[in-house]
Structure 1
């Protein structure tokens, strides 16, 4: 199977854009979608066209994983526990066609330079990629000396994160320190039209989101600037985060298993829906490439695992198996993320939008094909395009 063609025509596609559009034909040229409609477009015989009859299979926009450690995470139990960079196929095999990379605990042996370099590498391999500047700690690691100028002057840098709060591994930022970073994010958004959010790592601490709630009460910084993640790790934290969506914050669920005090990812999404919170303010990400450490009360590491983007995709299929409709849950994996991060050509299937798409199998319990920017990366369940150093 060739990974590229001048034109690709997908016939009889059951399109979720994310709204359910029914059976349509989709014409793709280069990296863009040219046509979505019921009629078959008439193309000249002199054109090279790859034509595929999908026989009613569901076609979705590619997933956006907006929290992934593309350079690798870890390092919390010594240098040997540093996770290597995440290869291309770990994303596309899971249906992820856009990623946003970041630093976590280790913003010393890794830095903004290495994240930006990995963004460019993934782009060269055919993935859409961006990144955050900064990491867990203050003062933040940057390329230009400030997070605002990083966002303004470095094209792939769209926001700040993941700055840690309510966590023993954080730099214990004060209220004044937090709102100064948030203010820089907001001004950078005004100057550039980029996302300009402050992506906040939430730990297990009882303080939870108190700093964010105070910021919304005492400052003029817009609520959309504050974007907490890992909010399903404790039930009380999740309830607190859900309330913030009513004030205009987007919140992010992480697709890893939680402890006894948290909500499993699918459970968190269902709870959010049942409680009637704003469905356009919820996203899910994988924490891919990052470590999943467990600590005792003394802050000592007791065990460690590592996340992948496939965990996020598994939650999507779990929700389908539990009776949720594709169009109801799909925005959490696509359109909501694109709206938060100001990525207008991502997260939906639309004419002139990027040709990033997923084709589900007939049973809707696995992925048949994945296309990123008009090129097949996975076809008939087989990974046909891999990263430069993948075997």
Structure 2
């Protein structure tokens, strides 16, 4: 008697197809979600671009301090369409972070962190992106890359007792040099695959819960399948983003680039104004706003990890800020605060910008720690009071 094992791969195949169909085709979705919900698909599109272009660039890049800058020049000048490849990688990274910030702001505005696993994984993805973007910024080995790596890694020296040991461990030497570049190159190649795994888990966790419409209500009656109604909307925004990327890389490819980074790294010459990429400027501004070095590091870390604390807020029956005027005002002010911090991070650390950054930083943390919980509790008491009065 022989055992027929042909059904095993077929069963696995059917399981995968049914799983994909459940997530991307037959997923019940509220009909009134707008284009602001398409940011998830745009983020996936940007991630695919980053993976493909990153792998192709890695084939020609040399992670050695004497050749890394020249290898970038070789890619842009000697490789067929190499300049397009590199410009696509760098500019899509900026659009990647832009979509992430819009995605996070949408979730804060509509209070859509009901699924705690989804929110936690999403913020973890954001932190992973920050690490990936930072180590990738060092790889061209230009002036700004070198000095940004020197300044940021030196921040760990403020940690009592073990700070200097951590810095030396990160450097792999007594300064930012060849071992540092090799380590950052390895991390920059590894982290996108970790990012992809987290993204898949994030999608599974998101689609395992029922979608709530922008008003926050859960309706099991008025739902539409995800395909073809919402895949068409996703395709439209994806095409629009592709047009924007194409325009940037063909007309203004260095819009988000620092001119200092087109100069080969020189440890003996310090740039006049050291700053990271634009998507790190808000955190850099918070770091500079605190005079104490250790305090600045704690403020920098807290500005990102504070997003985890939103999970401690109780979920209200009315979730969207559209129907909560006080919370709506606070969330909009948070967006303006983020823009102001990004702008301040791009200017020199001198008066009056230092004082202004300290004030805006204080408002940033006040909004998360005090105002949002206060609005939630106040509105809850008003709702309970109205319910009691109506009942009486």
TM range (shorter): under 0.3
Q: Which has the higher contact order (CA 8 A, sep 6+)?
A: 2
* TM-score, normalised via structure 1 length: 0.22
* TM-score, normalised via structure 2 length: 0.22
More helix by share: 2
Q: Which has the larger radius of gyration?
A: 2
